[in-house]
Amino acid sequence: MTILRDVPEFDFVIPVLVVGAGACGLTAAMAAADGGAEVLVLERDPTPLGSTSMSTGMIPAPGSPEQAERGIDDNPELFVQDMIKKTEGRVDVDLARLLANEGVETIQWLRDKHGVPFILIDDYIYPGHSRMRMFATPKRSGAELQAALEAGASNAGVSILTEATVRHLYVGEGENVVGVRIERPDGSFEDIGCETLILACCGFGANAEMVRRYIPELADIVYHGHSGNQGEAILWGEELGAALADMDGYQGHGGLAAGYGVPILWPLIMEGGYQVNAEGKRFSDESQGYSEQAAKVNAQPGGYAWSILDERLHTLMMKFEDYRDALEAGAVQTANSIEELAAITSTPVDTLRETVEAVAAATRGEIEDAFGRDFTGKPPLVAPYRTAKVVGALFHTQGGLDIDAEARVKKKDGSVFPNLFAGGGAARGVSGSGPAGYLAGHGLLTATTLGKLAGRAAAKQVAG
C-alpha cells in the first residue's frame, strides 16, 4: 500500500471515484450521482458483498415520522445522549450529533429517491438504545440491504467496476489525490485518474498485523467479517499524514454460533434470554451489549457459552434470516426439560437448574439478579427450551481516518485534504474506544450517512 508521487498521464479522469461497493460506497455514489457527477465505484470482489451483506442491515434514525405514528417519543439529541452514556463520554460528540441529526433524512432519501424499502423495527429495543429507532429492510438482512443499494445505484446510473483492487494512490501538488492504480485478476495494472476520491473500503478486521497493533487483546479472537477488510484506507492515510482516531474501537459479538459462523442475534437476550458457561452458570449482565460480551464469553472455561431461549423467543428470532440460517444448519437445539438442556450443553444438571430457577425468580421480581440485570417485564422462560453454543468474535473495527462534517479526511494539524473523503469503516466511528461503546447500527449509520455526505460534497466540488 503506497502513495505514488510520480503522476502519469491518465487515459481518462473520473470526477468522483469511490473505493468499495458496500453500503458506504454505494450510498456515496448515489449521492454524487444525484448531484450531477459522473461516478465510478471500484470493488475488489467479483460481486459486491462486503461487511454490509454480513450485517442485519439495521440503521438507527431518531425522530422519524414512523416513530411518531407509533407513539415513540424520540429525537436526535436523545440518541446523542445514549451514545455519550454507552461510550462513557468517549464519543466525538460533534460527529455523534451530526450523524444523529442526519439519520432520518438518510433513511427517507434512500427509500423515497432510490427505492431502498426501509421499515421501522418496533418489536424490541437493542442494548444501549433508549427508544425503538432501528430501520431495516423487510427481511432484516444485510444481504437484502446490499441488493437494494446496488439496485438503487444502478438505477441512478452509477458504474461499478468489479475485480478491481486499488493498490496505490497517486498524489500530486498540494496533497491532491489525482488517481489510483488498480490490479486486475490477471495481475495486470491500470491507472485511473480522478478529481475526488471517496474511501469506502471498510476497516482492518481481517488484517491480523493491524489488529495486533491497534487492538492487541483481540490478537487470537475469531474474526467474523469480510476478508477484504485489510485496512488499506488507514494505511494510505498514515502515509499521507492523515489523523487517525479511536483505533482500538471495535464491534465484537458474544453470540457467534460455534463452528457455524452464524450470529445468534441479541433480541433473544433483550427479550429475556441469557447465557450460561460450561459450568451451567451465568457470568454477566448480558443486556449491557453484545459487543462487550465477546470478551466475557471468551474468558469462560473453554472459551464458549450457551445462549438459552424458549419457544416465545424462538418465534421472535424467526423474523431474522441469520437465526433461520443457524436453525437450518443445526446450530440451535431443542430441549424439552432442564435435564435435556443439561445433557445438550454438558453442564451439571443441578447447577443449571439453579440458574434457570434464579432467572425465573428475578423475572417475577422475587429476587435481585446477581449481576444487576433487570429481567422484569418479560415472561419467564419455559420448556421447551432452545440453545446454541456460541463464542465471542470480532465483527468489525470502529477506528479510522478522522473526518469533518462533510466526511473530508483530516490531516494531523486539523486541516483537511483538498479532495479526499472517507466513510464507514474507513473513517472513525461513534463508538469511542474499546468494545463497550458500540451501539447496534453504528456501523451502517456511519456507512450510509457519511457516504451520503461525502458523495454530496464531492459532487459539489467537481461542479465548481
pLDDT in tens, 209-262: 999 999 998 888 999 999 999 999 999 999 999 999 999 999 999 999 999 999
At 118-164, the pLDDT tens digits run 999 998 898 999 999 999 999 999 999 999 999 999 999 999 999 99
At 394-450, the pLDDT tens digits run 999 999 999 999 999 999 999 999 999 999 999 999 999 999 999 999 999 999 999
3-state helix, strand, coil in the chain (%, to 5): 35, 20, 40
At 3-44, the pLDDT tens digits run 999 999 999 999 999 999 999 999 999 999 999 999 999 999
- Cβ-Cβ contacts under 8 Å for 316 (sequence gap 6 or more): 123, 124, 267, 268, 271
What confidence score (pLDDT) does residue 49 get? 86
Task: Tell me the pLDDT band of 199, cut-offs 50, 70 and 90.
Answer: very high
Task: Tell me the pLDDT band of 1, cut-offs 50, 70 and 90.
Answer: low
What's this model's pTM, rounded to 2 decimal places?
0.92
What confidence score (pLDDT) does residue 219 get? 86
What confidence score (pLDDT) does residue 301 get? 97
What confidence score (pLDDT) does residue 452 get? 98
What is the percent of the chain with per-residue pLDDT over 90, rounded to a whole number?
96
**CA-based angle 108:126:25, to the nearest 5?**
45
C-alpha cell read off for 161: 467496476
Nearest to 417 by CA among 235, 172, 165: 172
What confidence score (pLDDT) does residue 50 get? 85
Cis check: omega of the bond before 8, within 30 degrees of 0: no
